[in-house]
Structure 1
Amino acid sequence: MMKRKIGLVITLVLGTCMAMAQNKATTADIKTPKAVMDQFMDKRFGMFIHFGPVTQRGTEIGWSRNDQVAEADYDNLYHEFNPQLFNADEWVKAAKDAGMKYLTITAKHHDGFLLWPSAFSDYNISKSPFKRDLVGELAKACKKQGITFCIYMTVLDWHDQDYPIDNPHHPELNARTGNMTAFKTRMKNELKEVITKYHPFMLWFDGYWEKPWTQQDGKEIYDYIKSVDVNVVVNNRLGKISDKLGGDAVGDYLTPEQTIGKLNMDEPWESCITICNQWAWKPNDTMKSLKQCIQTLVTTASGNGNLLFNVGPAMDGHMEARQVTRLKEMGSWLKQNGEAIYGTKGGPYMPNEIYASTRKGNKIYINVFQRKDTTLNIPLLPNSKILKSYFLNGDAVVIKSDSKGYRIPLPATLPNENCTVIVLELDGNAVDIPVIKS
């Protein structure tokens, strides 16, 4: 990841939407068809997987090289890399049971090791005792189980002699001059290899912050990707990261990390957040509660974004049972309440600590996080009439209103302690309602 930010800060943003004019600005700069982006954003929930030889040390992928793990040790871990318990079908099933719609694997992180047998680098999984094509097996399993397959790639490579930096922790020790032309040529070859061989729906880049990588480099690689397959979705970390799309920004969507993005009805975004603390596997890492996990997903969707939720498999290739169980618990909630998540738009209400809203068709879903009072108070909907109100898959809800807003009586115990969904059916299209400030 961009930095070792391993603490989750769930920011329930009460700010305003980003500039309404951004749609016009992005039209000429983003080559990915709108229909493809809409398909991506409708998925709402995906699995991020950080995995590689470093799991044998239990330290962070990429970032622990030359820090917690000596360079010579780190770069030779692949000689011992043999995750015999890896089973692509089980990984994908864990994602499917969680209600996730897509999966993104760190095919190449900043340490430069490739999880596929490449024709363009010898530092790859075929040279390990494991030998198998982990990326290929995951792509096949995703196709079989109906999960959209995506790939993480890096724009820096501390192992590659053609990249000018090998030790970001101690820049004064960097002696490489590098050859960025050769480096980018190899990158293009690797990208064409994974695009044509594994057909990822999306490419998730990272590593933009180091000086050798320029904005122009990002644009060059973006254009190259689109020349290979125009439909591949690309995140905004291929160029220097920006908090908006269009203009000089490179990529198709925004990527807040370890925080929930702002409500943004104009630009697509996806928050990447860990189920524990570290991205890669760490023994006895603290795991988030089910309430945290569900409310993170709901708050993300209510802001009109996707959640890419990270799991780090253990060094032998298995996903920890406790994490798989937590994911399955999320899936159980989604089986009952997925209507309020998949294919929805965020809003119209700004999310807060008590509730968050999503909408689709003529319905608004009020996702209630906690019962702080006997009544839930929400602002009035402009030019709209509520025709029907009820708990999702449950009993009717009586709503009273006055000039100050709607008053919804709540039972002493909410139907679901993690997140209870109340449905408001309107006399018009809920998506047309402007964002309402609480």
Structure 2
Amino acid sequence: MKQLDERLINIVPSERQVMLQKTEFYAFFHFTVNTFTGTEWGYGTESPEIFNPDQMDAEQWIQAIKAAGMKGAILTCKHHDGFCLWPSKYTNHSVKYSPYGNGNGDIVKEVSDACKKAGLKFGIYLSPWDRNQETYGQGQAYDDYFVAQLTELLTGYGDIFSVWFDGACGEGSNGKKQVYDWQRYYDTVRNHMPDACISVSGPDVRWCGNEAGDTRPSEWSVVPADLSVAERIAALSQHADDPSFRQRVISSMEEDLGSRERLAQEQHLIWYPAEVDVSIRPGWFYHPQEDNKVRSLENLMDIYEKSVGGNTTLLLNIPPMPNGLLHEEDVKRLQELGGEIQKRYGKNLTEGAEILVKGQNEWNAVRSVYQDDYETCCHGNGPKAEFKISWKTPQKISAVILKENILKSQRIEAFEILSMRNGSPVSIYKGTTVGYKKIARFPQIESDILIIQILDSRIEPVLSFIGIYE
């Protein structure tokens, strides 16, 4: 077991992967000709003439997501229909040939500029499947086209934190499918934007397995290397607009990706954290009939706490309307969401607490877990550790946040939180993995002492932060 654990903790994240996990929560904007036709997947035959968001306001989008506490945004610069939201030199199927801005519009620039102005990160989505491009399905000819467009985006809009590819692979206008040259695409990103994460159909971040906001109870970042190719296999990719992809949850067969038992026989392991992508509405693009189907605050908080608080990042889609604005219901919900996150996690009760860690025969004060950073951290003594948090007066408590120093890998396998009642410990929460961040939420208690027990970990736990919240 020790030999396996030593092998597992040698798998650590890259700087770009750490950056993305620290970003935690960011937006997706699905916007293209589909917004004007009412479809989810366009056909590539749509006229650019239909694209005219006459009240376009990218700053409204960015201020709305910033109010929710998001730290970045990813724009669908080109979806499967092949329509480009920037004036690409390589096609007539773009905003340049639409009425918007009298042919001088550039939605990508507007959104990237709005992000910069607000201090948020900007990312791009570029669909490898292009149902409009005549070279699609012709091998290198299409790869040349795709790389040329990718290069335009990587070199024309400043810093990019995420390049988001999906694995959708269907027929083009000529009835043929393309075998994507993924490595060439990755090399292009690394060459022009080396700090950007390549997500989902890429080597840096993996898909959580559904579009319903469902998460695993135990989410591991150290997983078999084979997972990095799954989304790139055409046979496994999405070929049609199937609503079940937005509704399915993780099956039991897929739940265990990184336990000791799962990894014991694996020869090649990688750090490959998960991202949860979900839309605030049933569809990914705007449909007026869904104005009364915006996710509830309760549902969004549940997704947030299980994703951001479950060792994944959260990518929440908010689709703009044809006029170029976000709907007032979406904006309202985002404001509510940001307010609720701040209400629950804005005040850390450890500021007035004493935190002790149990040594061989005594409790010792520990200061290294008060600050949310990797500059200081607390190592356990062997695979277990025990922390005691105490206050001079009883506190109302309903959540605990734990964070590992992931620069030292992901180690914790099991933990338990207890409160003291009448001098006796009472279990209030049992968990498994922690990773970058774990939000342990439970019915509110009132206590002047909490005990956090790390029951099992790989070699030893390395805890970087403890937060206690009302």
TM-score (norm 1): 0.66
SS of equivalent residue, structure 1 residue 221: helix
Equivalent residues of 1:60, 1:280 under 8 A apart: yes
Larger Rg: 2
1:168-205 deviation line (CA, Å, top 9, x unaligned): xxxxxxxxxxx221111111111111111113211111
Contact 2:52 2:98 in 1 (8 A): yes
Q: Which residue of 2 aligns with 1:221?
A: 185
Matches within 5 A, 1:386-425: 386-388=388-390, 390-391=395-396, 399-400=420-421, 406-407=427-428
Q: Deviations over 1:252-289 (max 9, x none)?
A: 99x99767876978531111001110000011212211
Q: Is the 8 A contact 2:166 2:231 kept in 1?
A: no
Distance 1:252 1:284, change over 3 A: closer
SS for the counterpart of 2:79 is coil
| Superposed displacement of residue 399, structure 1 | 3.3
Q: Give the match's secondary structure for 1:399.
A: strand
**1:350-369, aligned counterparts within 5 Å?**
362=369
Secondary structure (helix, strand or coil) at the match of 2:288 reads coil
| Deviation of the 1:214 alpha carbon | 3.9
Shift of 1:60: 1.1
Could you say if the C-alpha distance between residues 284 and 425 of structure 1 is closer, same or farther in structure 2, counting changes exceeding 3 Å? farther
Q: What is the RMSD computed on CA atoms of the aligned residues?
A: 4.2
CA distance in 1, matches of 2:246, 2:7: 25
**Is the CA contact 2:127–2:165 (under 8 Å) kept in the aligned structure 1?**
yes
Aligned twin of 1:249:
228
Indicate conservation of the 8 Å contact 1:275/1:310, yes or no: yes
Match of 1:44 in 2: 24
The gaps in structure 2 that reach 5 residues or longer are 172-176, 210-222, 238-244, 259-270, 349-366, 373-382, 400-417, 430-440, 455-459, 465-470
Aligned counterpart, 2:306: 299
CA separation of 1:207/1:392 partners in 2, compared to 1, >3 Å: closer, same or farther? same
Higher strand share: 2
- CA pair 407-200 structure 1, distance change in 2 beyond 3 A: closer
Judged with a 3 Å threshold, the aligned counterparts in structure 2 of structure 1 residues 424 and 235 are, in CA distance, closer, same or farther, namely farther
Partner Cα separation in structure 2 for residue 208 and residue 23 of structure 1: 34
Tell me how far apart the structure 1 counterparts of residues 63 and 309 of structure 2 sit (CA, whole Å).
26
Amino acid at match of 2:160: P
Amino acid at match of 2:386: S
Q: Pick from 79, 83, 86: which aligns with 1:116?
A: 86
Alignment of 1:104 with 2:74, yes or no, is yes
The 3-state SS of whatever aligns with 1:302 is: coil
Relative distance call for 1:403 and 1:88 in structure 2 (3 A) is same
Cα pair 2:385 2:461 within 8 Å, conserved: no
In 1, distance between residues paired with 2:347 and 2:187? Answer: 36
Give yes or no for contact 1:84–1:316 (8 Å, CA) kept in 2.
yes
Structure 1: tracts of 5 or more residues without a match = 1-18, 28-32, 66-70, 165-178, 342-359, 366-380, 409-417, 434-438
Amino acid at match of 2:141: A
> Match for 1:205 among 147, 151, 165?
165
Task: Provide the residue aligned with 1:230 in structure 2.
Answer: 194
Instruction: Output the CA distance in 1 between the equivalents of 2:277 and 2:118.
Output: 23
- Cα offset, 1:155, TM superposition: 1.1
Distance 1:405 1:190 in 2: 59
Could you tell me which residue of structure 2 aligns to residue 412 of structure 1? Answer: none
Aligned partner of 1:332 in structure 2 is 339
* Distance in 2 between residues matched to 1:260 and 1:337, nearest whole Å: 27
**Aligned equivalents of 2:276 and 2:132: distance in 1?**
28
In 2, Cα distance between equivalents of 1:181 and 1:317: 36
AA matched with 2:24: R
- Of 367, 387, 392 in structure 2, the residue corresponding to residue 385 of structure 1 is 387
Q: Give, in whole Å, the separation in 2 of the partners of 1:60 and 1:51.
A: 10
- Residue in structure 2 matching 1:322, options 309, 317, 329: 329
Counterparts in 2 of 1:147 and 1:392: CA distance versus 1, 3 Å: farther
Equivalent pairs, count:
338
Cα pair distance change 1:38/1:98, threshold 3 Å: same
In 1, Cα distance between the equivalents of 2:444 and 2:113? 36
SS in structure 1 of the partner of residue 277 of structure 2: strand
Is the 1:116–1:135 Cα contact (8 Å) retained in structure 2? yes
CA distance in 2, matches of 1:421, 1:196: 50
Cα drift, residue 320 of structure 1: 0.6
Q: Percent identity?
A: 25
Please name the residue that 1:167 is paired with: none
**Contact 1:399 1:407 survives alignment (8 Å):** no
Deviation, 1:227, is 1.9
Quick check: 1:54–1:61 contact (8 Å CA) kept in 2? yes
The normalised TM-score by structure 2 is: 0.62
The residue that corresponds to 1:280 in the other structure is 285
